[in-house]
Amino acid sequence: MSSFRVRPRFTIYSPKSVEEIIRETREYLSAPDAEIKGLAMQDHITLRILSKDRHFWSPQVSVILFSEKDETKLMGTYGPMPNVWVIFAFGYLALFTLLIFISIVGFSQMSLGIESNILWSLPFLAGGIILLYIISQFGQKLGAAQMFTLHHHLEKITGQKIPIH
């Protein structure tokens, strides 16, 4: 899995029905020696690391199942827990909004011949965006081992090799 992929995805096809996959997932997760936890309901599976091993950067995998002719299509996404995703999405949104607003005000002032010292904040905002990206990459590295654990268990559940793209 490349470090530049924010949320690795996969698509596989299984000869099993949606109900069979959900039932087998529930059985796998309810085993007393299960190393992961999660939910399997109707057409959706979410797998997470056990609470005792989880940290801020722990990933989860979310799989949606689609019933097709004589097979089931599984589409999955590996990603951060929802709270981490929201924090970073909000951070990027706030920084980009400030960047755009300050650019509009500053360049408008400059075009009118008014002193535009506000433009000096643009490099700091760009630096904040870069810093946020570096922090997210660092966090992704901290959660990489757990992502491979989830991937391994998902392959056990489906009984198939899962290519990531």
25-44: per-residue pLDDT in tens?
Answer: 999 999 988 899 999 999 99
pLDDT at 3 over 60: no
DSSP assignment letter at 25: H
User: Does the reported pTM lie above 0.95?
Assistant: no
- Tell me the per-residue pLDDT of 75-92, one tens digit each, with 9 for 90 and over: 999 998 989 989 999 999
In the structure encoding, which two tokens stand for residue 84, read together?
């981490």
Assess contact for 65 and 73: CB atoms under 8 A.
yes
What distance in Å separates the CA atoms of residue 91 and residue 101, rounded to the nearest whole number?
15
At position 158, the amino acid (one-letter code) is T
- Tell me the per-residue pLDDT of 42-78, one tens digit each, with 9 for 90 and over: 999 999 999 999 999 999 999 999 998 889 999 999 9
Count the residues in the chain: 165
What distance in Å separates the CA atoms of residue 99 and residue 26, rounded to the nearest whole number?
47
